[in-house]
Amino acid sequence: MSLDYRVTGGGPLRGSLRVPGDKSISHRSIMFGALAEGEIEVNGFLEGTDCLATLSAFRQLGVRIDTLAAGHVRIHGVGLHGLQAARQPLDLGNSGTAMRLMTGILAGQPFDSVLIGDESLSRRPMRRVTEPLKRMGASIETTEAGTPPIHIYGGRELVGIEYMMPVASAQVKSAVLLAGLYAHGKTCVTEPAPTRDHTERMLMGMGYGLERQEHVVCLHGGGHLCGGRINVPADISSAAFFMVGASVTPGSDLLLEHVGMNPTRIGVIEILRLMGANIELLNEREESAEPVADIRVRHAALQGIDIPEALVPLAIDEFPVLFVAAACAQGVTRLSGAAELRVKESDRIQVMADGLQALGIRTEVMPDGLVIEGRGYFDGGEVETHGDHRVAMAFVIAGLVARGEIIIHDCANVETSFPSFLASAQHAGIDVEAWT
C-alpha cells in the first residue's frame, strides 16, 4: 500500500505521552517465552508488524500464543526442544532482528527451516550471522550475495565457540548466544563496543546462567528457561522522535512516560544533552530486569557537535532523528564510525542526506557518516523514505520547524515499529496527516 504523510507545522509539544512497547524486547519476549518451560505473560507487547511477524512465526513452529488484550499476550512455552517444523517458509516481513535471532534458534533444531522477508529485508546482509553459526556446526545457505532467503538444515550438532565480533551488533551477539543454548560446551561472544544487552538481561531474568565480564558474555548449552511475567517498557527509539521534537520546538514541555532506560540504549539522550538539550529523568526504577524512567523534555537551543564514536552503537537506531536535531542546531555536526547505518532498512546515511538536502540543509556524505550544517529550520519540500520507517518519522519531526509543508513519500512501514505514530504525533501537537 502506498502511504504518504503531509506535515504543515504544529507545536509546541506539551502534556504527556506514552509511546508503544520496546521493539527489541517485544521480539525477545516471544522468542524466549516460546523456549521457556511454562507460561509467560507479556504486558506492553508492541503490536507492530515486525513483532507480529515474530509472533506468527512461532505459532507456525507449534507454540500456542494467546492474545488476551491489546499489548497483552500469554505464551505457552514448549521448552528448548519443543518446537515443531513449520509447514512453509517463515515470512518475517521487514524484521532483521527476527531473521537474525531466529537463525540462531533454528540452527539448533532437528528440522529444516526457511526464512524469507520482504523486498527490503531480502537485500540485507546475513553472513555476519551465518558465518559464526557455521563455525558452531550449523548448516545454513543464503543467496550468493549473503542475503535472504535463509535455508537452515536441522539435525546438526552444535559446539560452543569463542567468537570475536568484527563489528558491534546486538543481533549477531544474540544469534550466537541463542545457538549456544543448543551447543555442547561453552559459547562466548566478545564485542568490540557495548551493544544493547536485552538478550542477556532476559536470559538471566528467566533463570539461565550467564557469565559477563566487560565486553565478553558466555553461556553453557543444555540449560532451561523458566516461565513468568515480562513488562515491556516504552521504546526509547520511538520516544526519541518526540525528544527531538520537543527540543527544537519553542515552548515545548513534554513528558514521555515509562521509557526503557537500558544503559546500552541511551546514547540518544547523551548525544542530545551534549548538543544542549534540556532532558530530565524522573521516577527511575527497574521492571522485568530493565531500567525504566519518565523523561521530561523542554525546548532548548541546540549546538552542533562532533558525535563521540563511543556513543554510536548506543544510538544506532536513532540517527535519522538525530540528523534532524543536527539540522536544527547552530553550527556543524559531524558523525563518523557509523557505517552500520548503510545496511539498515535503507542506506540511512544517503537517504537522510538526500532528504535533508531536499529541504535546504547542506550535508556532506562520508563512507561511515555524515556532516550536517545546522540552519535552525527547514524549507518545505518533498522527501523519499525508500520505505524506511525511521526516516519517515524523522521527517515528520522536521515539519515542526519547516517554512512550508513537507510531503513524505512511502510511509507505510511506520507500522513495523510504531503503529500509533500518527495519532501520537497529533496528540503531542504535530499537524500531520496521511493519505493513500
- Catalytic residue numbers read 317
Q: Are residues 393 and 413 in contact, defined by beta-carbon separation less than 8 angstroms?
A: no
State how far the Cα of 269 lies from the Cα of 275, in Å rounded to an integer: 10
User: How many CB atoms sit inside 10 A of residue 110's CB?
Assistant: 12
Q: What is the largest CA-CA distance in the chain?
A: 61
Three-state DSSP at 223 gives coil
Residues 6+ apart with CB under 8 A from 369: 334, 335, 336, 337, 338, 339, 349
Residues in the chain: 436
Q: Burial, 63: exposed, middle or buried (Cβ in 10 Å; 0-12, 13-18, 19+)?
A: buried
Amino acid present at 283:
N
Please list, residue by residue across 162-181, b when 16 or more beta carbons sit within 10 angstroms of its beta carbon and e when fewer do: ebebeebbbbbbbbbbbbbb
Three-state DSSP at 13 gives coil
Q: How far is CA 113 from CA 102, 147, 255, 430, in A?
A: 10, 16, 44, 44
Three-state DSSP at 68 gives strand
Q: Burial, 367: exposed, middle or buried (Cβ in 10 Å; 0-12, 13-18, 19+)?
A: exposed
State how far the Cα of 319 lies from the Cα of 341, in Å rounded to an integer: 8
DSSP per-residue letters across 386-402? TT-HHHHHHHHHHGGGE
Three-state DSSP at 34 gives helix
Name which of 23, 15, 88 is nearest 56 in CA terms. Answer: 88
Amino acid present at 66:
D
Q: Are residues 341 and 303 in contact, defined by beta-carbon separation less than 8 angstroms?
A: no
